[in-house]
Amino acid sequence: MLKYLIDENVNPLYTQQLRRSQLDIVVMAVGDLTAPERGTLDPEILFWCEANGYILVTNNRKSMPVHLTDHLNAGYHIPGIFILNPKLGVGENLEQLLLIAEASFDDEYQDQIEFLPLF
């Protein structure tokens, strides 16, 4: 089962719409009760995603690739990171995330950062 952690700077509409989907996915957002607190630094979010098996969904195009490289170089892993496309509307980005959830297999995005759209 695919699990998404929505970064705190991503429009909350993503979390709401993904949770409403009929797909077998788990969606949490930074700031949710058992998720990282709002204001948690990106490297700590990567550790949380690794420990809990969540793919990070973010719009952080600048520093997240650097944080991922540092994370991997330190010998850690991550289920994956999806970076939303600012040129796509919310609906188009959501469609991509839903297609990925339907068509992906376990560990397909392990230690990778993917920029939407994938398809």
Exposed, middle or buried by CB within 10 Å (0-12, 13-18, 19+), for 3? middle
- The CATH number for 16's domain is 3.40.50
pLDDT of residue 97: 96
Domain that holds residue 8: 2-115
pLDDT of residue 105: 87
Our count of domains for the chain comes to: 1
Name the residue among 74, 77, 97 with its Cα closest to residue 16: 97
- Average pLDDT (51-75) is 96
pLDDT band at 24 (very low <50, low <70, confident <90, very high): confident
User: Whole-angstrom Cα distance, residue 117 to residue 16?
Assistant: 20
pLDDT of residue 22: 81
H-helix or E-strand spanning residue 14: helix 12-20
- The overall average pLDDT reported for the chain is 95
Q: Please state, for a pLDDT cut of 70, what percent of the chain lies above it.
A: 100
68: which residues sit within 8 A by CB, 6+ positions away? 46, 78, 81, 113
